[in-house]
Homo-oligomer: A and B are copies of this chain.
Amino acid sequence: MTQQVKVGIVGGTGYTGVELLRLLAVHPHVELTVITSRGDAGTLVADMFPNLRGYVDLAFSDPATANLAACDVVFFATPHGVAMSQAQALVAAGVKVIDLAADFRLQDTAVFERWYKMPHSCPEILQNAVYGLPELFRTQIKQAQVIGNPGCYPTTVLLGLAPLLEKGLIDFSAPIIADAKSGVSGAGRKAEVATLFSESSDNMKAYGVAGHRHHPEIEAQLTQLAHQSLQFIFVPHLIPMIRGMLSTLYVKLSAAAQDVDLQKLYETRYADEYFVDVLPAGKLPETRSVRGANHLRIALQRQSADYLTLVVVQDNLVKGAAGQAVQNMNIMMGLDEKTGLQVLPLLP
Contact = CB atoms under 8 A, between A and B. Distances in A.
Interface of A: 15, 18, 22, 25-26, 49-55, 174-175, 177, 179, 181, 183-185, 187, 189-193, 195-207, 209-210, 231, 233, 235, 237, 239-244, 246, 248, 250, 252, 274, 277, 282-293, 295, 297, 299, 301, 303-304, 307, 309, 311, 313, 317, 342-348
Contacts of A285: 50, 205
Given A51-B291, A287-B205, A233 B307 contact: yes
B191 A193 contact: yes
B181 A181 contact: yes
Contact of A292 (B15, B235, B288, B292): B292
B206 A235 contact: no
B51 A344 contact: yes
Given A181-B237, A295-B54, A201 B344 contact: no
Nearest to A281: B209
A221 to B, nearest CB: 19
A163 to B, nearest CB: 19
Contact of A198 (B185, B205, B283, B289): B185
Contact of A202 (B49, B50, B174, B244): B244
Nearest to A344: B22
A39 to B, nearest CB: 12
B198 A15 contact: yes
Contacts of A248: 179, 206, 235, 237
Contact of A196 (B53, B183, B189, B250): B189
A206 to B, nearest CB: 5
